[in-house]
Structure 1
Amino acid sequence: MLNRLFGKPKQEANTLTTLDKLNETLEMLEKKEKVLLKKAAAEVEKAKEFAKVRNKRVAIQCLKRKRLYEQQIEQLGNFQLRVHDQMIMLEGAKATTETIDALGTGAAAMKAMQKATNIDDVDKTMDEINEQTKNMKQIQEALSAPIGAAADFDEDELEAELEELEGAELEEQLLQPATMAPTAPVQVPAGWQLARPIPQKHTAEEDELAALQAEMAL
C-alpha cells in the first residue's frame, strides 16, 4: 500500500534526481536574471548619454530595450517561483515517505519482537528467578548457622552465666570503700616560698623537713 502511495525505492531515487535537476534549473535561471539586469542597467546608461546629446530617438530605443529586458526578468522570476514550489512539494513528499517508512519499520520490528516473546516464556523466566532467589536465601541461612561445638551451646545457659557475671561485678563495686574526700588546701602565709609542693600523704620526718625549709626561706 505504501509503495502504491509513495512509490518504490527506485522512484525515491528518481525523486532525488529530479530535485538535483530542479536545483540546476534554478541556478541557470538566476544566472540569466543577473545577465538581464546588467543589460537593462546598461540600456538606461545609454539612454542618459543619448539624451545629453539630444538624440531623443536613440534614447527612446534604449529605453524600449530596457523594457524588454525587464519583461524577461519578470518572466524568469515567475519561472523561479514555479521551480521553488515544485522543489518544496517534492521535498515534502520525500520527508513524508521517509517518515512512513520509518514508522512501518518500527511497527514491523515491534510485531516481530512480540511474536518472539511469548507470555508463557515470560512467566517461566519469572518463576525461575523466584526459585533462584529462594534457593539463595536458603544457602545464606545455612552458611550463617553455627556449626561444630558452637552449635551445641545452650543459649539459656549462656544467658544465665552472663547474668551471674553482671551480678558479681555489681557486688564488687558495692563492697569497694568510698573514695576519700579531697584534703583542704594548706594556707601558706604571704611571702613563704615552698621548695616543692607538699604531698597529701607524708611522714613526720617529711613534716619537719618542710618546716625547716620554710624557716630558712624567711
Structure 2
Amino acid sequence: MFNRLFGKPKQEANALTTLDKLNETLEMLEKKEKVLAKKAAAEVEKAKEFAKGRNKRAAIQCLKRKRLYEQQIEQLGNFQLRIHDQMIMLEGAKATTETVDALRTGAAAMKAMQKATNIDDVDKTMDEINEQTENMKQIQEALSTPIGAAADFDEDELEAELEELEGAELEEQLLQPATTAPAAPVQVPAGRQPARPIPQKRTAEEDELAALQAEMAL
C-alpha cells in the first residue's frame, strides 16, 4: 500500500533529479569545450610565431598539441550529443508515464462512478419517477372534478341555455332600428352666399283679409 501511495512521487523525484544531473554535466562539458578551443587557438598563434622565427620543429609541436585539443573538443561534442539524446528520451518517458497515470486515474474514477450508479439503480430511480408522475396526474384530476351542487349540473342543459341566450342577443340586435347619420352640412364656396328670398307683393284680397282680422282682434 505504501508503495502504491509513495511510488509515483518517488519516481517523479528520481526523474527530476536525473534531468538536473544531466543538465549540470552538459554545462560542465560546454565549459571544457570552450577552454579547449581557447588552448587550440593559442597553439595556432604560437605556431605562427615559431614559423616566423624559422623554428619549424617548435611550430610543428604547437600544431600537434592543437590537433590533440581538437580531438578532445570533438569527443566532448559527442558526449554532449549523447546527453541531449538521453535528456530527450527521459523527458519523453516522463511525459508518457504522466499520461498513463492520468488515463489510469480517469479509468478508475469512471469505474467507481459506474459502480456507484449501476443499471439496476437507474431503472429503480426511473420507476419511482414514473410512479410519482402518475400519482401527481391522479391528484390533479381529482382536484379538477366538481363536487357538491356543481356536480349535479347537466352540461347539455347548460349548453342549450347558452345557445338560447346567444340567439336572443342576436335577435335583439336585428330588431334595433338603424340609426341614420346626421346629414353633413352643405359647404358654400367662399364668395358665394345663398340668395335671400325676394318678398312678393300682396294682392288686394290679402289686404282686405288682413284688415278684417285686425278688426276682429279689436
TM-score by length of 2: 0.68
Aligned partners of 1:193 and 1:214 also within 8 Å: no
Larger displacement relative to structure 2 (36-45 or 158-167): 36-45
Query: 1:26 Cα deviation (Å)?
Result: 1.2
Q: Judging changes above 3 Å, is the alpha-carbon distance between structure 1 residues 173 and 5 closer, same or farther for their aligned structure 2 residues?
A: closer
Larger displacement relative to structure 2 (19-28 or 183-192): 183-192
Query: 1:142 Cα deviation (Å)?
Result: 3.2
Whole-angstrom distance in 1 between the partners of 2:47 and 2:184? 132
Percent identity at matched positions? 93
Larger displacement relative to structure 2 (56-65 or 18-27): 56-65
Q: Judging changes above 3 Å, is the alpha-carbon distance between structure 1 residues 183 and 34 closer, same or farther for their aligned structure 2 residues?
A: same
Query: 1:50 Cα deviation (Å)?
Result: 5.0
Whole-angstrom distance in 2 between the partners of 1:202 and 1:62? 168
Q: Judging changes above 3 Å, is the alpha-carbon distance between structure 1 residues 174 and 44 closer, same or farther for their aligned structure 2 residues?
A: same
Query: 1:155 Cα deviation (Å)?
Result: 2.6
Q: Judging changes above 3 Å, is the alpha-carbon distance between structure 1 residues 190 and 85 closer, same or farther for their aligned structure 2 residues?
A: closer
Compare CA radii of gyration and give the structure with the larger one: 2
Q: Judging changes above 3 Å, is the alpha-carbon distance between structure 1 residues 184 and 120 closer, same or farther for their aligned structure 2 residues?
A: closer
Q: Judging changes above 3 Å, is the alpha-carbon distance between structure 1 residues 33 and 145 closer, same or farther for their aligned structure 2 residues?
A: farther
TM-score by length of 1: 0.68
Query: 1:127 Cα deviation (Å)?
Result: 0.9
Structure 2: 5+ residue stretches without partners = none
Q: Secondary structure at the match of 1:7?
A: helix
Q: Judging changes above 3 Å, is the alpha-carbon distance between structure 1 residues 37 and 172 closer, same or farther for their aligned structure 2 residues?
A: same
Query: 1:75 Cα deviation (Å)?
Result: 0.4
Whole-angstrom distance in 1 between the partners of 2:135 and 2:181? 67
Q: Judging changes above 3 Å, is the alpha-carbon distance between structure 1 residues 74 and 32 closer, same or farther for their aligned structure 2 residues?
A: same
Whole-angstrom distance in 2 between the partners of 1:52 and 1:216? 180
Whole-angstrom distance in 1 between the partners of 2:59 and 2:83? 36
Whole-angstrom distance in 1 between the partners of 2:138 and 2:202? 71
Whole-angstrom distance in 2 between the partners of 1:13 and 1:38? 38
Whole-angstrom distance in 1 between the partners of 2:29 and 2:203? 129
Query: 1:211 Cα deviation (Å)?
Result: 30
Query: 1:113 Cα deviation (Å)?
Result: 3.6
Query: 1:22 Cα deviation (Å)?
Result: 1.5
Q: Judging changes above 3 Å, is the alpha-carbon distance between structure 1 residues 65 and 159 closer, same or farther for their aligned structure 2 residues?
A: same
Query: 1:96 Cα deviation (Å)?
Result: 2.9
Query: 1:72 Cα deviation (Å)?
Result: 1.1
Aligned partners of 1:192 and 1:217 also within 8 Å: no
Q: Judging changes above 3 Å, is the alpha-carbon distance between structure 1 residues 190 and 10 closer, same or farther for their aligned structure 2 residues?
A: closer
Whole-angstrom distance in 2 between the partners of 1:40 and 1:203? 163
Query: 1:21 Cα deviation (Å)?
Result: 1.5
Larger displacement relative to structure 2 (118-127 or 162-171): 118-127
Larger displacement relative to structure 2 (74-83 or 161-170): 161-170
Count of equivalent residues: 218
Whole-angstrom distance in 1 between the partners of 2:41 and 2:198? 124
Larger displacement relative to structure 2 (175-184 or 154-163): 175-184
Deviations 1:127-169 (A, max 9, x none): 1111111122223333444455544443323322221221122
Whole-angstrom distance in 1 between the partners of 2:208 and 2:41? 136
Q: Judging changes above 3 Å, is the alpha-carbon distance between structure 1 residues 187 and 125 closer, same or farther for their aligned structure 2 residues?
A: closer
Query: 1:214 Cα deviation (Å)?
Result: 33
Query: 1:64 Cα deviation (Å)?
Result: 3.0
